[in-house]
Amino acid sequence: ELVEAMRLERLASVGQLAAGIAHEIRNPLTSVKGFIQLIMVRGERPVPREHLEIIQVEIERIEKLIREFHLLARPPQVPQFAAVNLRSVLNNVILLMESLALGKNVALEFMPGEDVAVCGDVSQLKQVWINLVRNAIEAAPKGGSVYIALRTDGDRAVVSVTDNGPGIPEDILPHLGTPFFTTKAEGTGLGLSVCYSIVQRHGGSIRVDSRPGEGATFTVQLPLANNTACI
């Protein structure tokens, strides 16, 4: 609980986020600018393909940063709360992530049990598990596996995403959810902060369990929808 509270506090202020995105975009932008200058100064024709490819990759990185940043920083629009069937949300997420899993030969499994309903914004909730499942697939070894489980516990819906990757080093655990914190060469470090902010808006919590060398489990808890209308 304490770690959770600290983490939510760390969900940065708009100012800090803006500084972060500016910093992250500066590098790829500098290299785009540099290669365009190089192309113009050298005047080689046709323009060397490797130079164009670098420019393309860097622009794609900027696009990715902006796309994920937008999810995090868009005004906390009052989400469109309605009853959401988590089983169908998760089935949908599996469908979306299947090609990524297939590409790595990772078995992606979901054993849907009963229907579980929460009050929430369906597209925001979908985004939470897209991010968690993406991380799990990225962490899993080739031929590894990712399990998704849905259950209830008292008045909470509980969804866990488990991979058999390396787990999360203890010294890294406190940084999870900090915008721009990443250990991946290609990472943006925005995925988990998006998850934390969405789950917080839904009155839920995220718990991380790491088994070093054996894998990690991210468990999201959300209040179950009761019989009254969602507001």
Distance from C-alpha of 95 to C-alpha of 218, rounded to nearest angstrom: 20
Among Mg ion, ligand ADP, none, what binds residue 120 when CB lies within 5 to 8 Å by partner kind?
none
135 binds Mg ion (CB under 5 A): yes
Which residue in 135, 136, 87, 145 sits closest to 111, CA to CA? 87
Count of residues engaged in binding Mg ion, rule: CB under 5 A: 2
Q: Least distance in Å: CB of 66 to ligand ADP?
A: 14
Q: At what angle do helices 86-103 and 122-139 cross, to 10 degrees?
A: 30
The region, left, alpha or beta by phi > 0 then psi within -120 to 50, assigned to residue 152 is: beta
Residue 204 binding: pick among ligand ADP, Mg ion, none (C-beta 5-8 Å cut-off by kind) = none
Q: How far apart are CA 148 and CA 113, in angstroms?
A: 11
Q: φ and ψ at 121, to 5 degrees?
A: -100, 115
Whole-number Å distance between alpha carbons of 162 and 197? 21
CB 96, min distance to Mg ion, A: 14
Task: Tell me which of Mg ion, ligand ADP, none is bound by residue 188, counting a contact when its beta carbon lies within the kind-specific cut-off of 5 to 8 angstroms.
Answer: ligand ADP
* Partner that binds at residue 145, options Mg ion, ligand ADP, none, CB closer than 5 to 8 Å by kind: none
Query: What is the binding site for ligand ADP (CB under 6 A)?
Result: 131, 135-136, 139, 163, 165, 168, 172, 176, 181-184, 187-192, 216
Smallest separation, CB 173 to ligand ADP (Å): 9
Q: Cβ closer to ligand ADP: 28 or 191?
A: 191
Q: Rounded to an integer, what distance in angstroms lies between the CA atom of residue 43 and that of residue 183?
A: 38
In the complex with Mg ion, the residue whose CB is nearer, 127 or 135, is 135
Nearer Cβ to ligand ADP (7/81): 7
What's the DSSP call for residue 62?
H
Measured from the CB atom, is 156 or 175 closer to Mg ion? 175
**Residue 171 beta carbon to ligand ADP: minimum distance, rounded to whole angstroms:** 11
Minimum Å gap between C-beta 70 and ligand ADP is 15
Assess 191 for contact with Mg ion (CB under 5 A). Answer: yes
Q: How many helices (H) and strands (E) does the chain have?
A: 6, 7
CA 25 → CA 19, 22, 105, distances in Å? 10, 5, 32
Q: How far is the CB of 37 from Mg ion (least distance, A)?
A: 33
Q: Which residues contact 113 (CB under 8 A, 6 or more apart)?
A: 87, 150, 151
Closer residue to ligand ADP (CB): 121 or 163: 163
Q: Which partner in ligand ADP, Mg ion, none is near 179 (CB below 5 to 8 A by kind)?
A: none
Bridge partners, residue 145, by sequence: 107
Return residues touching Mg ion (CB under 5 A).
135, 191
